[in-house]
Structure 1
Amino acid sequence: MTTSFYGCLFMCCVIIMLEVASVVLLLAIAVDRFLRVHIPLTYKSTVTQKRSWMVVAICWFTAALLSFIPMFGWHNENTSNGTTQANSTSFQCSFFTASSRSYVVNFIFFSFFIPLLAIMTGLYCYIFLTTRRQLRVNIGAATESHKYYQKEHRLAASLVLVLGLFVVCWLPMFLMHTIILYGPKIEVSSLFIYTGVLLSHVNSAVNPIVYAFKIPKLKKEFRKLCMRVYHDREQQQIDSPKNSRAKDSSTESRSATQESEL
């Protein structure tokens, strides 16, 4: 793709922002599940809709703030032959001709992704241990508390699946770029790199399916949406013959009027 250097860099920053936002939002979900288990009695008064929207806004602001750092200097301004093409209008755009591999590996991967994944792992371990302990305490009892912790346990399992898919899909690409950065003598095949990129795209395609079929509330809303689309399409098919008949009758009436005038 041929574009200007900073245009290419901007597109790379947007891609990084989407990756960072995915991790930050997964952390926000993990914290939300942690609070539901840790403070079940005061959860609804603590996690209000207004505060939830504020957290989502903060997540996206943080993602944008961290992802657009390369626009202010941490980028590859020079090409492999040593000539500066920052102001060129015929720059051949690819991710690592504009973005700095050290920024992606050292800042995004080691300083951001790894710590957040460790925090999420700790939160989900706490959730599973707490829900399992509560289920054992209430074993055999059909109480509201037992149902509550059973529901939270299942939901946490579904969210761990989402987190696991994220790690599986993104980790290979980050590891390959780490090897390229710190092991210049080690040659990484372009086939592996393209496979890593493909996996990262697969993650975006798989997540909606997992959310829709593994999380009960989202599954219910997904069914409502499908039924609404189906009924709207069915209604359009019913209305279309009526509209065509109305048009035919309108055309016939116009013709009759013209004939009477003649």
Structure 2
Amino acid sequence: MDMYLGFVVLEGLLATAIVSTNLLVCATLCLHRELRHVTNYLILCLAVADLGVGALAIPFSMVLSMGYTLCFYTCLFLTCFPLVTTQFSILLLLLIAINAHLKIRLPNSYARYVKKRRMIVLVAFCWLLSLLIGLSPMMGWNRLAHYVEANNHTMAVSSPSERIAFVILARDLPYAGFLSKVYPGQNVSDSRIHLGHLGRCSFTSVFSPEYLVYFVFFTCTLLPLAAMLGIYLDLFRVVRGHFQSQTLWAAKRGEIQTARTLFLLVGVFCVCWLPLHIVYCVQLLCPGCKTYESVDHLAILLSHTNSLANPLIYALRKKDFGRALRSVLLQHVLPWPRLRFCCCPNPKVHPQT
């Protein structure tokens, strides 16, 4: 019980820090016009995704850690939402890497290819693709059939509205195909059918292990990360072989610094998220291996820490962004004179009249 309480407390503190820092990033980019360029717009989108992690995904994770018995599709939605925000972050990091690559490789034609409207369309496409990937278990790639067949459940609807919703889902959605296996010889509109409570709600209880490992990890995580690694390696190779021997090196130093910062974001993402995916791989590929719940909780905490690390890395590595962040913090978040006096390095002391 102490482990669960400690996990919930740490998750609550982490969620508060994530929401605060990413709101500060959003406010900084809105208040400082000199920071409004394509790369920082993408960083703003990344901050919005991290806000979703702090405001919704972490509270959902706290509910899941309690081991409540929930309606299957309620549990499924709680577990699907973090996948949406994570996938969007991966696709956005890939888009940021491509933008940095174009900015250095094609300096003369960059403005012609990279337009604000095109970036908006690409970001919207990333959101759509993330929704399709993260919510695919809601469309049938889940363990409902496994639980019903294993436990020989007979399900019944507890209310007319729930029955109507179930009939619509059974008729229209892709997972209607296995209803004949789950409910042999029964009509889905029968009042005895219900959306049962199939045990403790958790990631592994509702997701297919193959979905988490082969689709989410191998296909939707490792492939984009490998593409990002190739992009940054090619970018730094070009920089080393071309710009160091020319006068363009000084002019491109800011872009190179930005590329290094973005590469650091990708590295931190790998460090934060790979342990959790490795845990899922062990659970699938080595069923007999002993697993520890404390390791799962630590891996989940580390994955959520990535949403706090992103704005801190960008603020520390980009001096202009860090100065703007401090000014917003001192002028708008800490407006009280005493706090300003303590935080400002050279406060102005007005003489008494």
Task: Give the structure-1-normalised TM-score.
Answer: 0.80
- 1:102–1:121 distance in 2 versus 1, CA, 3 Å: same
State the AA in 2 paired with 1:112: C
CA distance in 1, matches of 2:333, 2:199: 47
Are residue 185 (structure 1) and residue 288 (structure 2) matched? Answer: yes
SS at match of 1:166: helix
Picking from 218, 239, 242, the partner of 1:134 is 242
The alpha carbon displacement at 1:215 in A equals 2.7
Indicate the residue corresponding to 1:241 in structure 2.
none
The alpha carbon displacement at 1:231 in A equals 6.9
Q: Deviations over 1:119-167 (max 9, x none)?
A: 00000001111122233212xxxx4x22232222211111111111110
Picking from 119, 144, 151, the partner of 1:82 is 151
Q: 1:180·1:186 contact (CA, 8 Å) conserved in 2?
A: yes
SS at match of 2:252: helix
Are residue 104 (structure 1) and residue 212 (structure 2) matched? Answer: yes
Structure with the bigger RCO (C-alpha within 8 Å, sep 6+) is 2
Q: CA RMSD in A?
A: 2.3
CA distance in 1, matches of 2:283, 2:147: 17
Q: 1:4·1:88 contact (CA, 8 Å) conserved in 2?
A: yes
Indicate the residue corresponding to 2:71 in structure 1.
4
Indicate the residue corresponding to 1:94 in structure 2.
202
Are residue 114 (structure 1) and residue 222 (structure 2) matched? Answer: yes
Indicate the residue corresponding to 1:164 in structure 2.
267
For structure 1, the residue ranges without an aligned partner over 5 or more in a row are: 238-262
Percentage of matched positions with identical amino acids: 30
SS at match of 2:241: helix
Are residue 25 (structure 1) and residue 128 (structure 2) matched? Answer: no
Runs of 4+ in 1 over 4 A off after TM superposition: 83-86, 230-234
CA distance in 2, matches of 1:38, 1:49: 19
Indicate the residue corresponding to 1:258 in structure 2.
none
CA distance in 2, matches of 1:79, 1:192: 25
For residues 182-221 of structure 1, the aligned pairs below 5 Å read 182-221=285-324
Task: Give the structure-2-normalised TM-score.
Answer: 0.61
Q: 2:147·2:198 contact (CA, 8 Å) conserved in 1?
A: no
CA distance in 2, matches of 1:129, 1:7: 49
- 1:53–1:224 distance in 2 versus 1, CA, 3 Å: farther
CA distance in 1, matches of 2:203, 2:258: 36
State the AA in 2 paired with 1:124: Y
Give the count of matched residue pairs.
231
CA distance in 2, matches of 1:13, 1:49: 30
